[in-house]
């Protein structure tokens, strides 16, 4: 595997732990570790002056909460439940908004906590995590506090409400199971984080019998919800290379469960499918990703580490198309909206892409700040959070053909994997040889 080529967003996202955690600063000040002070050799791709017009895009409403992310890499994203949108900002504000028009229903900011992950909503409960390691459970009715728990490290993933638990993955690769009733710790499961990791954590996904979490040593873990014990562990991308930088194999993408499979991608590693019952890796494709992926029964869609969008076959990972026109624009993970995909970028644009062939269909700018996290879909509406605290609802109509008609490329040659299972590797550095969108 080639050594990682780190564009500006990924370099800024690195977390160095040498006798203590040190967050590497912006791209212009990384020369001291050999990443250079020169002009970024791969600047964001410029957008066409005339936007694609295959879909009609309109902003339904925008509002702004607090001060946003304060320049930090966080996991704050909207949560939609019923006719409400819930959101938090790094300054300690949590709000409930009317999903139809953005009207403020309630706002709470008494905690003054540096919120950094969430919220997640289930029933009448809302969970949000903070940079100081605290987790709050609030009432969705009025934002009142139900409990507050102190964990051992920063929360840079979305706390996941699952049954009678709140499951939290902290940046030091510890997974906590907190009692939904009172916030007491029921169990914890931890991994030793590598010396050098990306700044981020995989958000736990709910499986039929437990919780699935990606950790920073390239492994996917399925935990029993009763005791937090591993049901299975699967190596997605074993660390390789001579330096710690080359050996980064973090799984910061959120695992996606579809039927009896879970799909996941790692940085400087692979896109893979895992059997959820046995933990067997069904296939791998070489693809470095940290923003995330979306999956349906018919297709996988991935944002890779160079901000290219890929579509792949969920059966074997064979590539269908690749979209290069948004490279280095610090894209979010894609989301499926009807027959199209949507991604946000560093300049506040949301782009619509054909799920069938990767064509750009349209775009809408929601503000000058970057889109902070993966947009959230409810029906045909996208709810988007920008880094400056702007929350927006946006919708597109007439969105092209569906993913079910996408042609499949011929699979690449097989090679043996470290787990002794079938491993498909593509020489082009993606799911398979695929034409540009």
Task: Report long-range pairs for 130-134 (Cβ below 8 Å, ≥24 apart).
Answer: 130/154, 130/155, 131/72, 131/74, 131/90, 131/155, 131/156, 133/170
State the Cα–Cα distance between residues 210 and 374, nearest whole angstrom: 24
Determine the 3-state secondary structure of 52 from DSSP.
Answer: coil
357 pLDDT above the threshold of 90: yes
pLDDT of residue 19: 34
Mean pLDDT of 104-125: 95
Position 38 confidence tier, pLDDT thresholds 50, 70, 90? low
State the Cα–Cα distance between residues 47 and 350, nearest whole angstrom: 12
Position 413 confidence tier, pLDDT thresholds 50, 70, 90? very low
Contact 303, 289 (CB under 8 A): yes
336 pLDDT above the threshold of 50: yes
| Ranges 106-115, 281-290, 423-432: which has the least confidence | 423-432
The more confident residue out of 412 and 314 is 314
The percentage of the chain sitting over the pLDDT mark of 70, rounded to a whole number, equals 77
- Residue 70, exposed/middle/buried by CB under 10 A (0-12, 13-18, 19+)? middle
Pair of tokens at residue 22: 């040190």
pLDDT of residue 418: 34
State the Cα–Cα distance between residues 423 and 339, nearest whole angstrom: 30
pLDDT of residue 42: 80
Q: DSSP state, 10?
A: H
The more confident residue out of 358 and 305 is 358
State the Cα–Cα distance between residues 392 and 60, nearest whole angstrom: 7
Mean pLDDT of 343-361: 97
Pair of tokens at residue 371: 């889109």
| pLDDT tens column, 277-321 | 999 999 999 888 878 999 999 999 999 989 999 999 999 999 999
pLDDT of residue 8: 41
Position 431 confidence tier, pLDDT thresholds 50, 70, 90? low
CA angle 228, 166, 163 (to 5 degrees): 85
Q: DSSP state, 239?
A: -
pLDDT of residue 192: 64
Mean pLDDT of 244-269: 77
pLDDT of residue 287: 87
The more confident residue out of 199 and 429 is 199
């Amino acid at each position: 595997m080639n050594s990682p080529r780190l564009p500006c967003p990924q370099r800024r996202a690195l977390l160095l732990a040498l006798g203590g955690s040190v967050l590497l600063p912006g791209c212009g000040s990384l020369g001291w570790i050999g990443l250079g002070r020169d002009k970024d050799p791969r600047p964001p791709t410029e957008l066409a002056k005339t936007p694609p017009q295959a879909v009609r895009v309109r902003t339904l409403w925008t509002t702004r909460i607090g001060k946003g992310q304060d320049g930090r890499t966080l996991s704050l994203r909207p949560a939609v439940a019923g006719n409400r949108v819930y959101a938090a900002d790094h300054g300690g504000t949590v709000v409930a908004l009317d999903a139809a028009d953005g009207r403020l229903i309630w706002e709470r900011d008494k905690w003054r906590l540096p919120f950094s992950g969430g919220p997640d909503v289930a029933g009448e409960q809302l969970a949000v995590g903070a940079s100081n390691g605290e987790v709050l459970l609030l009432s969705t009715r009025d934002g009142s506090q139900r409990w507050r728990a102190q964990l051992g490290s920063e929360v840079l993933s979305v706390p996941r409400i699952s049954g009678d638990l709140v499951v939290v993955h902290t940046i030091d690769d510890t997974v906590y199971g907190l009692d939904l009733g009172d916030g007491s710790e029921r169990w914890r499961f931890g991994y030793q984080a590598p010396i050098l990791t990306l700044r981020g954590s995989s958000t736990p996904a709910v499986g039929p019998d437990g919780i699935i979490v990606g950790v920073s040593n390239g492994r996917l873990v399925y935990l029993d919800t009763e005791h937090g014990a591993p049901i299975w562990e699967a190596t997605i991308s074993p660390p390789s290379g001579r330096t710690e930088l080359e050996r980064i194999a973090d799984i910061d993408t959120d695992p996606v469960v579809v039927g009896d499979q879970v799909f996941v991608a790692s940085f400087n590693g692979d896109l893979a499918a895992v059997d959820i019952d046995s933990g067997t890796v069904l296939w791998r494709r070489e693809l470095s990703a940290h923003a995330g992926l979306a999956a349906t029964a018919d297709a996988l869609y991935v944002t890779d580490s160079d901000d290219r969008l890929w579509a792949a076959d969920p059966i074997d990972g064979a590539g269908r198309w690749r979209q290069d026109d948004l490279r280095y624009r610090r894209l979010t993970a894609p989301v499926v909206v009807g027959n199209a995909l949507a991604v946000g970028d560093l300049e506040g644009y949301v782009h619509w892409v054909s799920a069938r062939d990767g064509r750009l269909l349209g775009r809408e700018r929601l503000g000058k700040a970057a889109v902070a996290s993966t947009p959230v879909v409810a029906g045909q509406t996208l709810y988007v959070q920008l880094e400056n605290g702007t929350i927006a609802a946006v919708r597109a109509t007439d969105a092209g053909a569906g993913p079910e008609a996408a042609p499949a490329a011929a699979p690449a040659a097989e090679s043996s994997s470290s787990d002794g299972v079938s491993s498909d590797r593509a020489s082009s550095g993606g799911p398979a040889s695929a034409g540009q969108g």
